Amino acid sequence: MSEEKGASATAEVKIVFTPSGRQGQVAKGTNLLQAARQLGVDIDSVCGGRAMCGRCQIDVGEGQFAKHGLISSSASLSEPSASEARYAEKRSLPDGRRLACQCKIEADLVVDVPATSQVHNQLVRKAADNRVIALNPPVRLCFIDVREPDMHEPSGDLRRVIEALQNQWPDRVSGEVSCGVHVLRALQQCLRKGKWQVTVALRGGNQIIAIWPGLKTQILGAAIDIGSTTISAQLCDMNTGDVLAATGIMNPQIRFGEDLMSRVSYGLMNEGGADEMTKAVREGLQQLIKGGAEQAGMTPEDVLEIVLVGNPVMHHLVLGIDPIELGGAPFALTVDTAVEMRASELGLNLHPGSMVYVLPCIAGHVGADAAGVVLAEAPQTRDDISLLIDVGTNAEIVLGNKERLLAASSPTGPAFEGAQISAGQRAAPGAIERLRIDPETLEPRYSVIGSDIWSDEAGFDEAVVNTGITGICGSGIIEALGEMYLSGIITAEGVIDGSLASRTDRIKEDGRTFKYQITDTVSILQNDVRAIQLAKAALHAGFRLLMDKMALERVDRVILAGAFGSYIDPKYAMVLGMVPDCPLDKVIAAGNSAGAGARMALLNIDQRQTIEATVRQIEKIETAVEADFQNHFVRAMAFPHKTDPYPCLSAAVMLPPRDLSDNVASDDNPGRRRGGRRRG
Amino acid sequence: MSEEKGASATAEVKIVFTPSGRQGQVAKGTNLLQAARQLGVDIDSVCGGRAMCGRCQIDVGEGQFAKHGLISSSASLSEPSASEARYAEKRSLPDGRRLACQCKIEADLVVDVPATSQVHNQLVRKAADNRVIALNPPVRLCFIDVREPDMHEPSGDLRRVIEALQNQWPDRVSGEVSCGVHVLRALQQCLRKGKWQVTVALRGGNQIIAIWPGLKTQILGAAIDIGSTTISAQLCDMNTGDVLAATGIMNPQIRFGEDLMSRVSYGLMNEGGADEMTKAVREGLQQLIKGGAEQAGMTPEDVLEIVLVGNPVMHHLVLGIDPIELGGAPFALTVDTAVEMRASELGLNLHPGSMVYVLPCIAGHVGADAAGVVLAEAPQTRDDISLLIDVGTNAEIVLGNKERLLAASSPTGPAFEGAQISAGQRAAPGAIERLRIDPETLEPRYSVIGSDIWSDEAGFDEAVVNTGITGICGSGIIEALGEMYLSGIITAEGVIDGSLASRTDRIKEDGRTFKYQITDTVSILQNDVRAIQLAKAALHAGFRLLMDKMALERVDRVILAGAFGSYIDPKYAMVLGMVPDCPLDKVIAAGNSAGAGARMALLNIDQRQTIEATVRQIEKIETAVEADFQNHFVRAMAFPHKTDPYPCLSAAVMLPPRDLSDNVASDDNPGRRRGGRRRG
């Protein structure tokens, strides 16, 4: 008996973890979860080894593993404990799955840790944007057993809670642990209701921001992109990174002005106007988060962490800062670093411990949304040169690679969003979004948002019977102008050629100029062409200036961020000079990159450090003080533009226009995908 | 010319600072404030050397200083600068005073730094309690010149504010500087209104908690003692430590119950009762601080720092924690460490950056007020043994010295506060507070609160015409019982001796017992004697138990904290066994020690560390689980009590009672001073 004991005390077994490949010798009988921790293998747990949370599920590798020189089988682990059996019965356990916390290692073993049981480096693939996000959430749930008070050794309840945290979650606690008053208020009742078992939400390793009686296994985070037009939110499980709900609303500030500058003016011209807009956007956030949480089957009280991005004006307004300084030179931001605060300080009525992290703005007109795009697209990690463009009232532009990053904004104005265009409108059902012109007949064909059927195809009239054809949106205008240029309706100088009126009655006199009529109510006027020329010239001059600073003639890839970017056809963008010359398949619509960046920062605190460090290093270029900006601007007014050779574009537009449009309209281009429709 | 320049560049002069004695050689022409900093001499400044704040005033020592081997005169400094002359004209400068920041050192010099110009180690003497407080405030005002925004080098306003702080106040900044959203909101307007000169309030060296345009030279702090009956506040200038206002109000919770336990019960028996009481005490705080700030000629917006002390029930209620757990075993505190939060989290409407620091509670019935007493009386720094007693519904007791400190509470009940006594009342005008009994005639003489005239002196009736004689307060009862024992009216067992009814009709039958009649409406009944016996026995058993733990037969000094302590006559306290035997002049009424401790913590962050460390080290004794407590309790019921020899007392009471009372009533005892009248 004693001999056997002696033998078993020294007996060691070999264990290999996949996919990490970590391996080592451990004493026979070692708890599997503990063995994993000893070997630095990342297995999740909320309940701390009590067979309650089910986070530590693993698979046993069965068979012979030549590489590791061992034979493994389910018999290498102890039989399921009573607790494990109870968990399997109540919550169900997939076939072959075991709870690591309940297994003792009996013999050599290969253990596979599925992605859902990994904490750090866990990969989340979200169909919506195909992005990979490593997890290292700022807030972690920790279930603890708390020592009961003892009159012989008096101590406060909080002290015993912190002791329990330190003893039961030594890997998660760093530094002196504290908590807010709201936790103190709830503490005693939670402890007694949970019979001295509670779950705490630990933030940053040292702050208890929430407490619940018993076991709590899920909390939410919200990644929110505050656009001038729409606010969109992704509600995520903070433990798994899963997006449980994605919602959006119109920015309630819209009633104070459609575009950014009209909102800055509203604040300037109305006493308390900025405060009104702050109130409106915060109410919008509250409504959005509440809706998202409910969509995820939870409540606003479950939302513990929020990450915000937005352009500088939205950034300032949501923080309650009057954006007046952003409306005029020298365009000084109040704060150009990341900001963290309690959600309650923004008037949000969520969990009282809920915290908000706002990504840093980059410059006066390059916002936290651009920082989100940088985080998502990571140009600072790449050798090749990326050009990131987020088109809005101001285009936010970032250029560079791991050596050097520059940022600037261009005053494009709202023309690309359909404003200042006679028949222009926001992207909404009924708006023309695609347009082709037959170069011989000069007849247009088009499709509208809400339908995939072209105007010359059967069923079009039925498809638009509900919406009508209400106008033309930003991407529609860009295609229209591109096609008008390619079909010769407008000259290189941007003049609608009145002489063509003899060939088609689509060209009509319009005062002293001409217009191109698409439908009874939608025409492209000479003034519309001018508005787009000004906008595209500004955008062109912006990135051209940055390319000059880096002495670049070419870029390796262009990322068009935002919903609008998803709808711009790269070819037409290039025809107009909205992007530099580049192989068409390297012009990538990134969808809601800013929101993706926000989600990365939500789920991984390392990403916060990354973007803070990157933004610090970005060189901020103020286009208003750069003489070259004006020169580039003037030259970029033309179609496509006068100075820069566009070899890639030339190769493309040398094809017959019809063939070309078919080609572009196909789904070969991996950058063209459907995303949110409205411009954020 | 160049020679002269060369000579002056190397010329050094000697400078000596008093009272610090620091000295050194500096280059001729060195700025005096900078020289002081180089030599580690503490001279205050808010404006940072701009001749605006007047904090850096110094005196020049004139004459020959043999000890330092130099001759000093006002000519050793440069002539007053234009800025200094302007300051002297606008704000006035005492004769001979100079602004250190404006002086260049021209020759050997002795400089005296007056106390008002010293930052750290500045001594504040406040007539009210004669306490010395070293200053090292958590919040400092820093005036800064901020670089204007520059389009060629874009950066956020906050970045330039922090840069200015780091460059202009390097000694005050430590670590990464951040600020709250309320500061961000105010930042841009303050900078522009102040023409890029602002004053910030820097807390803990790294948090900007407030900002004002231009120069701001005064902010307030409040040290507040939340008593069950009264709340008292001292409003201090955070820069000088001066008490600018001292105010008090009744605790608005009184409507929920006079004493602590009735409030705990109210919370227990009324749904939402604890919340009501929280709301009431917070409203009281707001009113108190507002009144104090106005009394100091300022506003609640000027209050940036608050320190709170109070017994555990008050501590919990003000933090919004239901005190229910304090009402029954095991008497667990929610939190036994210091707590810090924003004032807004307590619903206080002060400056949005205002912070609250709450001293730690020591144990379930030994509160943050006791911690304040410890901080003020500093037993942990002394070799001799101190016994600190704060009498309330529970007596809070701390015993020990620098080697070891013990704390306990005794369930005295509210009898000492006049409750449970037939004619008892709170200390208020009209209450009998002093009483002597002629041992021969058994006739009483007494005085009432609001008058110093005794009842057998001329003018007494006129003196009490407004108040009447309404009852007897705590200190009155203690004197009454002491005198009744000394004159033989009550026996050692505490029985009113009915046989004396034959000698005086002051002794009257009262059912099956007797009573001693003082006035028509005020008598001491047998039940009153019993109530006080129970209370004094509990108090005695409490300190006796602690003395046992430390194997002590004697203590070196007794500190009676609280207003009540100021009114207890040490001799009668000793007759009743409320304090251990001790030379009478070592029984010290410390006045509002708890409030003094709060003020120390308000004005000096080192004191916060001190009390936190001390409280951690105090051994907490729970009397309820100590068998010896019952034994001591039973034996302490008698008069004076059965077991302990009281040699000091015996020596005193051997004197004829009349002589003794005159002696005690004299002002020889330095511990007897008048303080706040009501029991806090």
Task: Report how far residue A9's alpha carbon sits from residue B665's, in angstroms, rounded to the nearest whole number.
Answer: 79
User: Which residues fall within 8 angstroms of residue B122, CB to CB, at 6 or more apart?
Assistant: B42, B115, B116, B134, B135, B240, B241
Coil, strand or helix: which one is B676? coil
Cβ contact A188–B364 (<8 Å): no
Cβ contact A333–B180 (<8 Å): no
The pair phi, psi for residue B479, each rounded to 5°, is: -65, -40
Cβ contact B336–A158 (<8 Å): yes
Cβ contact B154–A332 (<8 Å): yes
How much is the mean pLDDT over chain B? Answer: 88
Mean pLDDT of A418-422: 84
Name the residue among B148, B156, B334 with its Cβ closest to that of A335.
Answer: B156
Query: Helices A593-603 and A605-617 meet at what angle, rounded to 10?
Result: 130
pLDDT value at position B589?
87
Q: Are A186 and A212 in contact (CB under 8 A)?
A: no
Decide if domain A220-358 falls under CATH 3.40.50.2020: no
pLDDT value at position A119?
63
A663 pLDDT tier (thresholds 50, 70, 90): very low
Q: Which residue has the tokens 């000169």?
A: B197
A364 CB neighbour count, 10 Å cutoff = 27
pLDDT value at position A262?
80
B122 pLDDT tier (thresholds 50, 70, 90): very low
d(CA B679, nearest CA chain A) in Å: 27
Coil, strand or helix: which one is A235? strand
- Which residue of chain A has the CA closest to B358? A181
How much is the mean pLDDT over chain A? Answer: 88
Contacts of A181 in chain B (CB under 8 A): 319-320, 339, 341, 345-346
Q: Are B19 and B91 in contact (CB under 8 A)?
A: no
Task: Report how far residue A122's alpha carbon sits from residue A535's, in angstroms, rounded to the nearest whole number.
Answer: 43
- What pTM value is reported for the model? 0.84
Contacts of B336 in chain A (CB under 8 A): 154-156, 158-159
Q: Which residue in B22, B647, B178 sits closest to A358, CA to CA?
A: B178
- Which residue of chain A has the CA closest to B365? A154
Q: Are B540 and B632 in contact (CB under 8 A)?
A: yes
Q: Are B330 and B164 in contact (CB under 8 A)?
A: no
pLDDT tens per residue, range B415-468: 887 778 999 887 888 899 999 999 999 999 999 988 889 999 999 999 988 888
Mean pLDDT of A3-17: 69
Cβ contact A151–B330 (<8 Å): yes
pLDDT value at position B643?
44
Which superfamily is assigned to A12-117 in CATH? Beta-grasp domain (3.10.20.30)
B3 pLDDT tier (thresholds 50, 70, 90): very low
Q: What is the CATH number of domain B369-412+536-665?
A: 3.30.420.260
d(CA A143, nearest CA chain B) in Å: 19
- Which residue of chain B has the CA closest to A275? B185
Cβ contact A325–B188 (<8 Å): yes
User: Which residues fall within 8 angstroms of residue B343, CB to CB, at 6 or more apart?
Assistant: B303, B306, B350, B351, B354, B355, B356
Size of interface A-B (CB pairs under 8 A): 144
Provide the residue type at B386 as one letter.
S
Coil, strand or helix: which one is A601? helix
Say what percent of chain B tops pLDDT 70. 91
Name the residue among B150, B151, B330 with its Cβ closest to that of A624.
Answer: B151
Task: Report how far residue B58's alpha carbon sits from residue A526's, in angstroms, rounded to the nearest whole number.
Answer: 76
The token pair that represents B292 in the structure block: 């104090």
* A139 secondary structure, DSSP code: E
pLDDT value at position B121?
40
Indicate whether this complex's ipTM tops 0.90. no
Contacts of B150 in chain A (CB under 8 A): 330
Q: How many angstroms separate the Cα of B677 from the Cα of each of B283, B292, B372, B449?
A: 23, 19, 19, 9
Strands A619-620 and B63-65: unpaired
Write out the DSSP string of B174-227.
Answer: -S--EE-HHHHHHHHHHHHHTTTEEEEEEETTTEEEEEEES-----EEEEEEE-
Cβ contact B154–A331 (<8 Å): yes
pLDDT tens per residue, range B625-676: 999 999 999 989 988 754 456 777 776 664 333 333 333 333 333 333 333 3
Mean pLDDT of B39-56: 84
The pair phi, psi for residue B389, each rounded to 5°, is: -125, 125
pLDDT value at position A462?
92
Contacts of B622 in chain A (CB under 8 A): 151-152, 154
Task: Report how far residue A225's alpha carbon sits from residue A230's, in angstroms, rounded to the nearest whole number.
Answer: 8
Write out the DSSP string of A162-231.
Answer: HHHHHHH-TTT--S--EE-HHHHHHHHHHHHHTTTEEEEEEETTTEEEEEEES-----EEEEEEE-SSEE
Task: Report how far residue A565's alpha carbon sits from residue A392's, in angstroms, rounded to the nearest whole number.
Answer: 10
Strands A12-18 and A109-112: parallel
Contacts of A329 in chain B (CB under 8 A): 151
B119 pLDDT tier (thresholds 50, 70, 90): low
Window from A301-310, B23-32, B288-297, B438-447 with minimum mean pLDDT: B23-32
pLDDT tens per residue, range B319-372: 999 999 998 889 999 999 999 999 999 999 999 999 999 999 999 999 999 999
Cβ contact A335–B151 (<8 Å): no
3-state DSSP of B394-413? CEEEEEECCCCEEEEEECCH
Q: Which residue in A515, A447, A434, A519 sits closest to A482, CA to CA?
A: A434
Listed as own residue / partner, the contacts of B461-467 with beta carbons closer than 8 Å and 24 or more positions apart are: B464/B430, B466/B429, B467/B429, B467/B430
User: Which residues fall within 8 angstroms of residue B642, CB to CB, at 6 or more apart?
Assistant: B635, B636
Say what percent of chain A tops pLDDT 70. 91
Report the run of H or E that residue B619 belongs to, with start and end. Answer: strand B619-620
d(CA B143, nearest CA chain A) in Å: 19
pLDDT tens per residue, range B316-333: 999 999 999 998 889 999
pLDDT value at position A550?
96
Give the residue numbers in B contacting A (CB under 8 Å), as ranges: 148-152, 154-159, 180-182, 184-185, 187-189, 319-322, 324-325, 329-337, 339, 341, 345-346, 361, 363-364, 620, 622, 624-625
Q: Are B238 and B304 in contact (CB under 8 A)?
A: yes
Domain B369-412+536-665 in the same topology as domain B134-213: no
d(CA A542, nearest CA chain B) in Å: 16
Q: How many angstroms separate the Cα of B434 from the Cα of each of A441, B58, B427, B558?
A: 116, 51, 12, 21
pLDDT tens per residue, range B514-565: 999 999 999 999 999 999 999 999 999 999 999 999 999 999 999 998 777 7
Contacts of B320 in chain A (CB under 8 A): 181, 184-185
The token pair that represents A116 in the structure block: 């859902």
Mean pLDDT of A74-93: 89
Write out the DSSP string of A371-439.
Answer: HHHHHHH-GGG-SS-EEEEE-SSSEEEEEE-SS-EEEEEE--GGGGGTTTSTTB--S-TTEEEEEEE-T
Residue B114: is its pLDDT beyond 80?
yes
CATH class of the domain defined by B2-117 = alpha beta
B208 pLDDT tier (thresholds 50, 70, 90): very high
Cβ contact A151–B319 (<8 Å): no
- Which residue of chain B has the CA closest to A347? B181
- Which residue of chain A has the CA closest to B316? A185
Contacts of B324 in chain A (CB under 8 A): 188
User: Which residues fall within 8 angstroms of residue A40, CB to CB, at 6 or more apart?
Assistant: A22
Coil, strand or helix: which one is B677? coil
Burial B476-495 (b: 16+ CB within 10 A, else e): bbbbbbbbbbbbebbeeebe
* A652 secondary structure, DSSP code: H
pLDDT value at position A600?
95
pLDDT tens per residue, range B473-508: 888 999 999 999 989 999 988 999 999 999 999 999
Q: Are B107 and B76 in contact (CB under 8 A)?
A: yes
Strands A619-620 and B12-18: unpaired
Strands B197-203 and B97-99: unpaired
Would you kindly state where each structural domain of chain A is located, as residue ranges?
Answer: 12-117, 134-213, 220-358, 369-414+531-665, 423-514
Decide if domain B134-213 falls under CATH 3.10.20.880: yes
Residue A475: is its pLDDT beyond 80?
yes
Contacts of A622 in chain B (CB under 8 A): 151-152, 154
Q: How many angstroms separate the Cα of A401 from the Cα of each of A377, A381, A383, A550, A589?
A: 11, 7, 6, 11, 19
The pair phi, psi for residue B54, each rounded to 5°, is: 70, 15
- Which residue of chain A has the CA closest to B190? A334
Cβ contact B157–A335 (<8 Å): yes
pLDDT tens per residue, range A533-570: 999 999 999 999 999 999 999 999 999 988 777 788 88
Name the residue among A180, A346, A363 with its Cβ closest to that of B154.
Answer: A363
Cβ contact B184–A334 (<8 Å): yes
Strands B109-112 and B57-61: antiparallel
- Which residue of chain A has the CA closest to B616? A155
Task: Report how far residue A30's alpha carbon sits from residue A36's, in angstroms, rounded to the nearest whole number.
Answer: 10
Q: Are A235 and A354 in contact (CB under 8 A)?
A: no
pLDDT value at position B47?
85
Cβ contact A320–B181 (<8 Å): yes
Chain A interface test: which of B146, B150, B151 (most A C-beta within 10 Å): B151
Residue A64: is its pLDDT beyond 70?
yes
Contacts of A334 in chain B (CB under 8 A): 156-158, 184, 187-188
pLDDT tens per residue, range A239-291: 888 899 999 998 998 888 777 878 888 888 888 899 999 999 999 999 999 99
Contacts of A156 in chain B (CB under 8 A): 332-337, 361
B101 CB neighbour count, 10 Å cutoff = 28
Q: Are A257 and A266 in contact (CB under 8 A)?
A: yes
Query: CA A156: distance to chain centroid?
Result: 43
Chain B interface test: which of A321, A359, A629 (most B C-beta within 10 Å): A321
d(CA B240, nearest CA chain A) in Å: 31
Name the residue among A156, A330, A625 with its Cβ closest to that of B149.
Answer: A330
d(CA A44, nearest CA chain B) in Å: 30
Cβ contact A180–B332 (<8 Å): no
Classify burial at B42, counting beta carbons within 10 Å of its beta carbon; exposed 0-12, middle 13-18, buried 19 or more.
Answer: middle
Name the residue among A181, A319, A333 with its Cβ closest to that of B156.
Answer: A333
